[in-house]
Amino acid sequence: MVVWASLLIWVKTYYIQRFAFELPVEGAYQEFILWMNPISSTLCMLVMGMLIFRRYPRFAILLVSFFSSLILSINLIYYRCFNDFITFPVLMESSNLGDLWSSILALVRITDLFLFTDTLLLAVWLYKKKQSPVKPLNRLQLLALCQTSVVLFAVNLCMAESVRPELLSRTFDRQIVVKSIGAFNYFVYDAVVNLRLESQKALTGKRHLAMAESYKQQMPRDQMNPSMFGIAKGRNVFLISMESLQSFVIGQSSSNQEITPFLNHLLKESFYFDNFYHQTGQGKTSDAEFMIDTSLYALPSGAVFFTHPNNAYQALPKTLKEHGYYPAVFHANHKTFWNRNLMYPALGYERFFSSADYQIYAANSVGWGLKDIPFFEQSIGLIKSLPKPFYCKLITLTNHYPFTLEAKDRLIAEYDSNSGTLNRYIPSVRYMDEALKQFFEQVKAAGLYNNSMFILYGDHNGISQKHNKAMAAFLGKKKITPFDHIQLQKVPLFIHIPGVSGQTIHTLGGQVDLKPTILHLLGLEAEREVRVGNDLFGLNRPEFTVLRNGSFITDKLVFTRNKCYDKATGEKTNAAACEHWKEKAAEALNYSDNIIFGDLLRTIAH
């Protein structure tokens, strides 16, 4: 019975995962992973069932078969509606079911009953053998099954991580996780993660709140620059995320051609920050979004978009909405990618224009989806329909690893080095630059340019340390040192206000600083907001920027890999020089982490 039940649940699960869900399975190796991943969870469920119902093994087997079918059917119905897998927090939102029954029933198919075929077959078989004596599995047999389940899961996880390293610590796409470890293992994993996070919230007490309040009171208040405060008051805001764009390409040439001709021109008419750093962790683009909208740091592991979508946040979209702005997001990827369908409402966005709102097909797509030029072309029509003034975030996609482009889209030749990634990065950046140029022309044609403010930022680095040798050659250096690596974490920041003269600003800054900066440019106070960032135009802002891994930069020092460097020379200096700032960096990161892990903004005094 155990053997037959295992086989039936295994086959049923594989069939549903392979043909009912649209999982991104590529090649025979991934096909094999998908084929094998149901068996470990199947054996585990059977062992659990026979341990709980020790005296009723037949009932235990039937219950496990039925339960597996129920989980698959719930996921299947949810997938039909959202093209996504149900998560533990969503499943626990039972208070919403009363309003959803009609929608749920509309998604049910008569063929869904076939999911319970194995349960029916097992029930018929058990009925025919109801007179036969049944001897439960002994402890040794159950232990052997449990050990087999653990070994199979370990093998499954190792194979999956050979395709997608750090799979469970970087769960940025549920479809990839389900493809890799199976629907049942994913459900258990998701439940464990969420229960752990909920326990952290439950343990949050007065001491944590007092610590947070104390840190907030000690933060230096921004001394607003009167020449900048309210300079963009009442304007629409365009916030443009430039995928994987690092500062080292700005103003540079390759094959005797400018890599970013449009951005080089925009720099002359904008406030350009040449000491602006990305502070992302494992969440990459979503971390950048989070930090800009909340002025809190990303998490030390995982992506806050996945781990804490149900927290309360004092986010920029919410604040702007209170002052009459309409906050919207434009990103031509499916809405569940990086859990945006849950996180955006938590941040206060009114509308998310996702892949469902775009015309996407093979000819206008590459790599991760819709190319940037058609993305902007299609977005402008949607933007024109927004209520004014608006806060409009657009997330580009094309300049993403592995930076593949069709020949017709290469406006500059590939770079020539021993790194294919860096070689492809150059024409990919050039394509994004052209897309931005065309978008600005479209905004002008739509009559939106003069009464808007444009903020363009690089979201995270695109070239990793694996390509240091090629990067050293590009930059004319002998090698890339840890000090140089920190400098390569700089990303461009342009603040372009039509009619306002710009300049290059050398002040230190990071993505957590953008929220108070935007508020002050719009003439809005930010003092009551819980934050770790400071106005980039503030007259008393500290020359101090902290990266997510604990590295930091001041006007005189750089600290990374537990080494202190003199910023002027790039050489190591006395570690004691960095100790004060090291404590400040730890305080800032811990403060932000406590806010997120404890969901303190639900109770903290504003």
pLDDT in tens, 73-97: 988 887 776 566 776 655 654 444 5
Mean pLDDT lowest among 208-217, 245-254, 492-501, 529-538: 208-217
Residue 240 and residue 192 in one domain: no
Least-confidence region, from 79-83, 237-241, 343-347, 375-379: 79-83
CATH number for position 246: 3.40.720.10
Is residue 425, in this structure, part of any structural domain at all?
no
Within-domain flag for 120: yes
Task: Pick the range with the lowest mean pLDDT from 241-250, 359-368, 497-506.
Answer: 359-368
Least Cα distance to 467 among 406, 432, 425 occurs for 425
Q: Is residue 258 assigned to a domain?
A: yes
C-alpha distance across the termini of the chain, in Å: 61
Q: Using an 8 Å Cβ cutoff, are 467 and 419 in contact?
A: yes
Note whether 135 and 34 are same-domain residues.
yes
Instruction: Cis check for the bond before 402: say yes or no (omega within 30 of 0).
Output: yes
Which among 158, 217, 214 is positioned nearest to 528, based on CA atoms? 217
The whole-number pLDDT of residue 135 equals 75
Is residue 343 predicted with pLDDT exceeding 90? yes
Using one digit for the tens of pLDDT, what is the confidence trace for 259-294? 999 999 999 999 999 999 999 987 889 999 999 999
Range of the domain at 11: 2-200
d(CA 516, CA 529): 9
Residues 400-422: what's their mean pLDDT? 91
For residue 597, name the pLDDT band (cuts at 50, 70, 90). Answer: confident
* Residue 467 scores a pLDDT above 90: no
Structural domains in the chain (count): 2
Query: How many residues are present in the chain?
Result: 606
Closest CA relative to residue 392, chosen from 435, 455, 438: 455
Residue 102, pLDDT score:
47
Lowest mean pLDDT among 147-161, 170-184, 191-205, 402-416: 191-205
User: According to the model, what pLDDT value does residue 512 have?
Assistant: 97
285 noted as active-site residue: yes
Q: Closest Cα to residue 563, out of 447, 469, 482? A: 482
Confidence at 189, pLDDT banded by 50, 70, 90: confident
253-254 and 257-258 beta bridge pairing: antiparallel
Task: Let me know how many helices (H) and strands (E) the chain has, helices first.
Answer: 21, 18
Residues 352 and 463 in one domain: yes
465 shares a domain with 327: yes
The continuous run of DSSP H or E covering 420 comes out as helix 420-445
Tokens of 179: 């493809």
**58 is a domain residue:** yes
Q: With bands split at pLDDT 50, 70 and 90, how would you rate the model's confidence at 98?
A: very low
67 inside domain: yes
Higher pLDDT, 377 or 109: 377
Q: What's residue 129's pLDDT?
A: 77
pLDDT higher than threshold 60 for residue 172:
no
Given the residues 87, 171, 285, 560, the one annotated as active site: 285
Among 178, 200, 222, the domain boundary falls at 200
Same domain, 88 and 156: yes
152, part of any domain: yes
Mean pLDDT throughout 357-376? 90
- Mean pLDDT throughout 421-436? 96
Q: Tell me, what's the pLDDT at 377? A: 97
Look up the pTM and report it.
0.73
Q: Collapsing DSSP states into helix, strand and coil, what is residue 604? A: coil
Tokens read off for 110: 């008569």
> Domain end: 452, 468, 502, which one?
502
Verify that 275 and 364 share a domain, yes or no: yes
Q: Are residues 194 and 292 in the same domain?
A: no
Q: 550 in a domain, yes or no?
A: no
Mean pLDDT of all residues in 364-392: 93
Please report which confidence band the pLDDT of residue 536 belongs to, taking 50, 70 and 90 as the band edges. Answer: very high
pLDDT at 44 over 70: yes
- What pLDDT shows up at residue 387? 96
Mean pLDDT confidence for 205-234 = 76
Q: How do residues 292-307 score in pLDDT, each as one tens digit?
A: 999 999 987 768 888 8
- Which of the given ranges, 20-29, 74-83, 335-344, 373-382, has the highest pLDDT on average? 373-382
Residue 147 reports pLDDT greater than 90: yes
Specify if 357 maps to a domain: yes
What is the model's pLDDT at position 606?
45
- If asked whether residues 62 and 113 sit together in one domain, one would say yes
- Do residues 334 and 474 both lie within one domain? yes
291 and 180, same structural domain? no
